[in-house]
């Protein structure tokens, strides 16, 4: 009876150890995902995102965006556009990369570049792509799998894969970092106070998540979304007399 008790105790200890190992592994996986997400979406990532406004600077100069409410409306429209273009294309690029489908990688990269409707929007995409390629090369990563003249999202998908980041987390992280950058632009040009910027981040979270979920559901033929206001502002920005940003 004593032996049975000892064996049972040993079995319980073994079971607890196995369970702890399983829990620790799950925590490690989550922690790695979180760190990869923070790394890739950090404003400190040296790709020059801070130098571009994606047309917002001109919208402010033109008087279209003057207040916190104006900015919220503008950003909600931009999020809708991204939910029908950038984010679903990123998810397709991640899928093509997982399947090693070079044809689909090239197709979706070209598709995204073709949807940049002004010189500055395409330039912004190209320059950030080049900067991220340099960063990845600096980490001794093989970038030969990238499409010819890759769109930024094509390079971003490679970075997400390299850091072991789930495609959905990568897409959500990109949306968040984009939103933070837009509010930084507004803080420097409206100007928008830090309290207002944080209030807008909180207010826009539901819209960001809603558009993210839409992006995950779209079929291929539903992709491609024009934002005439942004395109118009971007075109005007090319010749804007005084400006802080490159787009």
208: CATH: 1.10.4190.10
* pLDDT recorded at residue 50: 86
Instruction: Name the more confident of 131 and 21.
Output: 131
Banded pLDDT at 13 (limits 50, 70, 90): very low
b or e along 79-101 (b: 16 or more beta carbons within 10 Å of the residue's beta carbon)? bbbbbbbbbbbbbbbbebbeeee
Q: Is residue 42 part of a domain?
A: no
User: Who contacts 161 (Cβ-Cβ below 8 Å, separation ≥6)?
Assistant: 94, 97, 98
One domain, residues 10 and 102: no
From the CB of residue 227, how many other CB atoms can be counted at a distance below 10 Å?
21
Question: Is 59 found in the same domain as 172?
Answer: yes
> Do 135 and 13 lie in a common domain?
no
Which of 45-59, 68-82, 145-159 is least confident?
45-59
Please compute the mean of the pLDDT values over residues 181-198 and round it to a whole number.
93
Q: Give the pLDDT confidence score for residue 44 in this predicted structure.
A: 81
CA–CA separation, 82 vs 78, rounded Å?
6
> Using CA atoms, how far apart are residues 48 and 185, in angstroms rounded to an integer?
13
In a domain, 173, yes or no: yes
Range of the domain at 13: 1-28
Same structural domain, 110 and 4 = no
Q: Which residue shows structure tokens 């995409």?
A: 125
Do 85 and 193 reside in the same domain of the chain? Answer: yes
Residues 137 and 205 in one domain: yes
Indicate whether 101 belongs to any domain.
Answer: yes
Q: Which tokens is 113 given?
A: 């570049």
| Of the ranges 3-12, 31-40, 169-178, 186-195, the best mean pLDDT one | 169-178
Q: Mark whether 63 and 17 lie in a shared domain.
A: no
pLDDT-derived band of residue 45, with 50, 70 and 90 as boundaries?
confident
Residue 137 in any domain: the answer is yes
Question: What is the residue whose two structure tokens read 């010819």?
Answer: 148
**What pLDDT is recorded for position 24?**
59
């Amino acid at each position: 009876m004593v032996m049975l008790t000892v064996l049972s105790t040993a079995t319980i200890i073994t079971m607890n150890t196995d369970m702890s190992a399983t829990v620790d592994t799950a925590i490690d996986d989550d922690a790695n995902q979180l760190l990869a997400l923070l790394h890739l979406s950090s404003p400190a990532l040296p790709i020059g995102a801070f130098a571009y406004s994606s047309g917002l600077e001109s919208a402010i100069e033109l008087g279209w965006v003057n207040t916190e409410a104006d900015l919220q409306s503008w950003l909600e429209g931009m999020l809708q556009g991204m939910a029908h273009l950038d984010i679903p294309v990123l998810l397709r690029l991640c899928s093509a990369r997982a399947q090693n489908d070079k044809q689909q990688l090239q197709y979706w990269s070209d598709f995204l570049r073709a949807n940049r409707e002004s010189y500055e929007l395409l330039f912004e995409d190209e320059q950030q792509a080049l900067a991220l390629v340099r960063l990845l090369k600096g980490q001794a990563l093989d970038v030969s799998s990238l499409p010819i003249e890759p769109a930024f999202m094509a390079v971003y998908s490679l970075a997400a894969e390299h850091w072991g980041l789930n495609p959905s987390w990568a897409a959500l992280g990109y949306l968040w970092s984009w939103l933070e950058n837009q509010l930084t632009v507004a803080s420097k040009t409206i100007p928008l106070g830090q309290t207002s910027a944080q209030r807008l981040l909180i207010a826009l979270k539901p819209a960001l998540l809603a558009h993210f979920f839409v992006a995950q559901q779209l079929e291929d033929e539903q992709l491609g979304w024009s934002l005439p206001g942004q395109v118009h502002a971007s075109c005007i920005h090319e010749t804007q007399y005084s400006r802080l940003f490159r787009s």
